Structure 1
Amino acid sequence: MRFVTAEYRGAAVCGVLDGDEWCPIPGGATLLDLLRSGSLHLAGDRAARGGVRVPVDELRLLAPLEPPSIRDFVAFEEHVEGVRRSVDGAVGVPPEWYAAPAFYFSNPYAVTGPHDDIPVPPGCRVLDFELEVAAVIGRAGGDLTAERAREHIAGYTILNDWSARDLQARETKVGLGPAKGKDFATTLGPCLVTADELEPYRDGDGFLALDLRVSVNGVEVGQDLLANMGWPFEELVAHASRGTVVRPGDVLGSGTCGNGGCLAEWWGRHGEADPPPLEPGDVVEMTVEGIGTIRNRIVPGVDLPPVPAARVRPRDRDCRT
């Protein structure tokens, strides 16, 4: 099944796709509501049998859900190799990358829809896209094995982890982040495809072999296979659940694919900003086999005052001096 959240009669409404038609879920339940109640497939079946049908191309699509949390992994070796050189000048892949899947927490309040405009974040001069696929959790669980984790994945969607590379390069030198370099937009969509729909794409090693492509202004700049991840999604979910829990609606990104999954990878490999950073007017389109296409236009952002520098303090220890 494919679940799409759309603007319908002035509200954000979740529905299921039946061919080229969208069938709203009765009662106004959100996708997150359906995941939490465990009624995803049942609600989808009922909606498809209902009387309301709208051509999907007449709707404004929104992000499939408002996730309670977003963990974004870095699971593609080729991406690490290229983008590391671009962002901090380092060569190769750190040995720690191979030891366990690494992730950071992104901002769930900055989620955008599959066709929304993306404003340039304040202070950014080097804007980039990042082509990813995300797993969405359907059942709560902690300390999961990879085998059990598969049962906890409700489905998949496309994720664009937009990046302000200049802000990211500065803040990661402090040993933290990325923070503001990733804080402004994460695009999800165009739908949530339930996990069973993508099982035919699974290869002999247990990875989903989906074709991933990204273009800027109609020119393809990246292509990879999702099966080139260093860990399958089940192992990412299991790792995320170690010592804690994952809950319905949590989003876990694969990390950016290789071979042009972002501009910074090309910059690191070739030693020059070609293709150049994104600018207002540029259109980024991402297509993932079995899921669909998202398409976003870059627009000017808000012009804010510069961030003040730290004040050098005397480090006194006695408030009376």
Structure 2
Amino acid sequence: MIGRLLSRPDGAFGLAAAALLIGCAMLSLVWTPYDPLAVDPAASWQPFSFAHPLGTDSLGRDQVSALLVGARVTLFATVVATAIAAVLGVAIAFALALAPRTLSSLLERAVDVAIAFPTLIVAIILVTGFGASTWVAAVSIGLAASVVVARTVLPELRRALLSDHVLLATASGAGTWRIVSRHALPSVLPTLIVRLTQIMAASALAEAALSYLGFGTPPPTPSWGRSLSDLQSQIVIRPEYLIAPAVAIVIVVLGFNLLGDALRDVLDPRSRVTAVEDEAAPRPERKGATL
């Protein structure tokens, strides 16, 4: 599957963006050019130079170091939020699919109401109640996104539970957990994977937005959204200072979205059948040029 993703421009870009994010986050654990928390007011707003390729901020902190540590914060929030959304969303979907029809209908209406609230608004409400931190921001984003995952997985799950092999397994006396783990869950996995890549993009953007608004990662820990907020006062005088964190956010969000589009096409059985038929089709013979 990796080969098919790499053969597509969107898949290759998405994988490269994910690899770049992970690489920068892992690198920040063992090395940064400077201490990202070191404050030196005498070195504030240093221009781009060999010592500081991206300059320094108002407190004299190196922006390359802040960018690397910000990648770690973004990766952490994205992974935690996506994991929570996956586990809770799949659990909600199974509860809706296996519940009695009346109860399932009521719960489904509640899920529809929850989806109507934007993820960022829900996250801001939760962060306001529990305090600003990377953990709280990630958990809030995951909780808000879980209903989206549940609504996406539910139709596929219901079709899987009504399929012939599931009905046959039920008639043979197989338990609910065996049916779910052996038959239902694998059938919804492609749809779930595609949705989760989109959730990762939304989580990275939501974390940056929360930090920009002051509801996410608290200072002095650097994050891309907080870097944009801190540098905003210099947008007229030194607009180049905002390029690095802004481009980083765009690359990560766009990369995960494009990776989701590529995965959707690769994991779609109809696209696989079409690809196999195209490969098996006889090639027209090329006639030699006539003089």
* Short-chain TM bin: under 0.3
Bigger fraction of residues in strand: 1
Taking structure 1 as the reference length, what is the TM-score of the superposition? 0.25
Taking structure 2 as the reference length, what is the TM-score of the superposition? 0.27
